[in-house]
Amino acid sequence: MILSSGDGQQRRPWGADQARLHRHLLRRPSLLPAGSSLLLAVSGGQDSMALTTLLLDLRHLHGWRLQLWHGDHGWRPEAARQAAELAHWAREQELLLRLDRADPVPRSEAAARQWRYGRLAAAAVRGGCSHVLTGHTASDRAETLLLNLARGSHLRGLASLGASRLLAQDEENAADPAGGEPLRLVRPLLIFTRQDTGRLCRERGLPVWNDSSNQDRRWARNRLRAEVIPVLEALHPGASRRISALAQRLEEESEGEAELLELALGRLQADGDPLRLQRRRLTGLAAASQRRLLQHWLRGCLARDPGSRTLETLVDRLGRATEPGRLNLAGGWQLHWDHSTLWLRQPDELHG
């Protein structure tokens, strides 16, 4: 639902925060290309409000066209009132705002996330936007790394919450109608912390609508934020920023490693078939190399990460004996092997 519209281009304030984000975007011009149509996910919290005002400040330099999206999960009684107040603020800024309300109400964090990104993708397509933006900060990235570390994630999971990724790979079909390019999810504020966005909101007198569900410690991230991060910061001030920087380095190393893995997998293919690998050559490598190659191979074929437990199980079974075997994978896929070859069978093959 469109509640407000306009595209005013009045000059905006300029300070250290604007200069910092401007330099960051100039160093990475593909992140938010000049002249792009951007859809900002705005919860009304300090991070998304800070992102919105910074992009308004820089818009005249980059020629962006901005739209806002707000989603109501149906978890809070005050959500409708806050959405109306946010819509009023958007009208004052001469920004178009789209609202979505979940029906049925998501029952978990994962379900809420899936709904949110699905609706964002659909709204971006309707609005002709090529990039969807969220207000995730370095603080969020540090929390994500710690959560994934506790879950036993491999390095790719530790490097998650990156600066940019394709949105349409695991959400609704969302090719950019303007140019046929895939829709991208971008997180421009990863160079800022939650303390930075709070300070910016106070300095600019921005309205902030607090989400009461962020205080609910039944959710893992809330409990980590309230109970774990303060301890780490007390022990080592600046811990969150350094943890986020580590995730950034892992992301950069992962991108380089992916190119090398592709080359290595080409040497391991059996009969030139990308769904078949030579077992003997694979198992002759170190266990860590086997895990990385199998993870990259399976993620590329299945369009999802196989998970650390699956990889550990697979490497163990391949190394213990040369007998034929089989492993069920997510999405109905199966991995088979004999003494010389591993091969994947797609779900339609299994039911054909």
With helix as H, strand as E and coil as C, how does 233-247 read?
A: HHHCCCHHHHHHHHH
pLDDT at position 317, please?
Answer: 92
Query: pLDDT by residue (tens digit) across 241-286?
Result: 999 999 988 888 887 888 899 999 999 998 889 999 999 999 999 9
Task: Please give the helix or strand (H or E) that residue 301 lies within, else none.
Answer: helix 287-302
CB 155 within 8 A of CB 305: no
CA distance 39 to 289: 40
CB 56 within 8 A of CB 84: no
Q: Please count the helices (runs of H) and the strands (runs of E) in the chain.
A: 14, 12
User: Encoding tokens for residue 140?
Assistant: 């969020």
Length of the chain: 352
CA distance 297 to 289: 12
Beta bridge partners of 100: 71
DSSP one-letter code for 182: B
User: Encoding tokens for residue 286?
Assistant: 């170190």
User: Encoding tokens for residue 183?
Assistant: 């829709």
Taking the CB of residue 351, how many other CB atoms lie within 10 A of it? 7
pLDDT at position 158, please?
Answer: 79
User: Encoding tokens for residue 265?
Assistant: 């997998």
CA distance 220 to 170: 23
CA distance 56 to 155: 36
CB 130 within 8 A of CB 225: no
Domains and CATH numbers, the chain: 2-243 (3.40.50.620), 271-350 (3.30.465.60)
Nearest to 133 by CA among 207, 54, 197, 206: 54
Buried b (16+ CB within 10 A) or exposed e, 19-36: eebbebbeeeeebbeeeb
pLDDT at position 182, please?
Answer: 86
CA distance 124 to 121: 5
What one-character-per-residue DSSP string does 143-163 give?
A: HHHHHHHHHT--HHHHT-S-S
Q: What is the pLDDT along the chain (352 residues), one digit of tens a residue?
A: 444 444 445 567 889 999 999 999 999 999 999 999 999 999 999 999 999 999 999 999 999 999 999 998 888 888 889 999 999 999 999 999 999 998 888 888 788 889 999 999 999 999 999 999 999 999 999 999 999 888 887 777 777 788 998 886 444 444 444 456 789 999 999 999 999 999 999 999 999 998 777 777 887 888 999 999 999 999 999 999 999 999 988 888 887 888 899 999 999 998 889 999 999 999 999 999 999 899 999 988 888 888 888 999 999 999 887 788 999 998 889 999 999 999 999 876 655 4
User: Encoding tokens for residue 86?
Assistant: 């946010």
pLDDT at position 1, please?
Answer: 47
CB 342 within 8 A of CB 282: yes
pLDDT at position 3, please?
Answer: 45
Q: How far is CA 79 from CA 39, 58, 106, 136, 209, in A?
A: 21, 30, 15, 21, 9
Q: Residue 240 half-sphere exposure, CB side, CA atoms within 13 Å?
A: 22
Nearest to 73 by CA among 60, 62, 82, 65: 82
Nearest to 179 by CA among 126, 130, 118, 123: 130
pLDDT at position 224, please?
Answer: 92
